[in-house]
Structure 1
Amino acid sequence: MKEVLDTVEVGRPRREPKEPQFLNPEQAEALIEQAREQGVELLGEGGLLKQMTRAVLERALAEELTDHLGYEIGDPAGIGSGNSRNGYTPKKLHTEAGTLDLEVPRDRAGTHEPKIVRKGQRRLAGIDKIVIGLYAHGMSVRDIQTHLLDIYEIDISGDLISKITDAVLEEVREWQARPLDPVWPVIFLDAIICKVRDAGTVKNKAAHLAVGVGVDGKKEVLGIWVEHTEGAKFWLRVMNDLKARGIEDVLIVVCDGLTGLPTAIEAVWPDAVVQTCIVHLTRASLRWVNYKDRKRVAAQLRLIYAAPTEQAAKDALDAWTDSEIGRQYPAIKRQWAAAWEQVIPFFAFPPEVRKVIYTTNMIESINYQLRKITKTRGSFPTDDALIKLLYLGCREMGRTTRAGRGGRSSYNWKTAMNQFDIMFPGRLDNA
């Protein structure tokens, strides 16, 4: 087996139209066949893949040292050169093939700095990607440890996993400060509630997401903020943050009746329209309703927000108030009346455009995925830990950058953009 592994050469691929192959199919077949004859498994401890990975890395490390010294092993040119080979240093290296016991060659002068496996390096970059990927899918540190041990036969500590994922925090800070487009037709604001440890106690905290829909109709997560203070002060900070990053104008902001938000939006973007999420308002209304009445009440509330005009919606609300079931739940009328100024903006648009702006369902798909990865955690030790996981979740969905806006545009987006251009003349010109 060793003789076959010794024939594996590491070199630079030739520039060819097709992707170069270091090991052709015939060589690979012969290698696998010999492994089977000698009873060597392809995977696992002592398997072919692990032996090949070790052989390739050690050969590459030896070539690096040869290049540094300037002469091959046994070459007389090395006599009197001032530096020479000086044995090997054992190193454990975590790789996708498992944990390898490498023999790293060293030089007598100690001037060689390996590039393929650097001094002090204990894992290949692929392991970091695996750990971050598992973490982004909601696995706990303990689950990741178990997975790496079972699948890759790699035993690493929880502290190392935390260090790997904490390295993402600098990327998060850069992402949170990245410049944004100057004009956004629609921005949706919503929150997910998570448990975060704060001052020795576990509290429910709201992680607010701003999701913008660009002129191309593609969604992009603009930022994540964990709420520390309630009301207008918090929202003014968020709006000022978005404006400082380049957002000069927003046509419509869709949100769930958040205290102080309309005031903050008006202070930063005075021409923006604030639209209450009708779905959230309906859900809040149904909290007052007995279970047996919910379908009936939901159907009657639909008559309000599905009305063709603002006046027809107001008439439907009055009719609800005077109905038998409406008198049973007077709190619903108070909720709708209090939010009415933020309920009615979407009546200015045709039905096909209303579907774009009257609900935060535009970001419900994003929040659904984020709730899946956060619900497995009992609580988060810090706000940063929560933001880190939410960011990684968004990154996995491809929603964290302008280039990551892939996929189809929002439904009926071209129709909506033409309506926006008429309703908000000139404001999309700089988009």
Structure 2
Amino acid sequence: PKGKILQGMKQGLCTEEVFCAYMRESIRGALWDLMQEEVEAHCGRRHRPDREGRYRRAGSDDGVFYFAGRKEAVKKPRMRERLTGGRQREAVLESYLAARSKRNILSEVMAMVDEGVSARGSQRLTGRALSSSEVSRQWVKHSARRIEELRGRDLSKDEYFGLMMDGVFLKETVVLVALGIKKDGSKEVLDFSVGSSESYEVARSLCSRLQERRFNVRGRLLAVLDGARALHRAVEEFWPDAVIQDCIIHKERNLHGYLRKSDHPEC
């Protein structure tokens, strides 16, 4: 129903929030995978633990990592090291220590994705001593690999009625993001390209990849764009009958420039 769709869209997050949540969860998941690899290298597989080994699993605990300069929560597995005389002590996870000290993971992941560096050859942690910089590189590769998999998935299995395309300004990078709008009004990241929405080449490349991945639209596409002419041109090329609407949030931001700050809440 139209009312349900509109309600879902109004309650949804803006493009920047959806994209940052997507990147944050990808990077968080990659860190979890990396920590689990380290635990498995020391303790053996969960269903076949090394009971005579030096280390054993000890549940999990709350931890933090940094994303876009802010602390984010993450679950971290725990290990105990067996000592002489039956004593034990908490073992340090090198992967977690590296994550705690890293502040610019997002920029490095975006750079790897932009350069097209293959992350599929990223190695598993083996339990041997690694430098903090090597562990950090593995985290970046694991994150890029997760993002590659999400960006490459077949879109024909889901049905969308709308497409949002907007430029997102990260700390050191500008990214053109494409969100799919589903029948319930929810939004999800479909793909992105490093570059401005003012660039026709960037916009056209993004639209082309969506079509190659069989972006599934029933009826006419509703395209919500940030107002850049390059975006309009690219969308009209691939979906000639699309209904194009400029993003209301961008209109509001433009109006703010003509108002006193005290009047912004009423805009």
Structure with the largest fraction of strand? 2
TM-score when scaled to structure 1?
0.33
The structure, 1 or 2, with the larger RCO (C-alpha pairs under 8 Å, 6+ apart) is: 2
Structure with the largest fraction of helix? 1
TM-score when scaled to structure 2?
0.50
Q: If you compute each CA radius of gyration, which structure gives the higher value, 1 or 2? A: 1
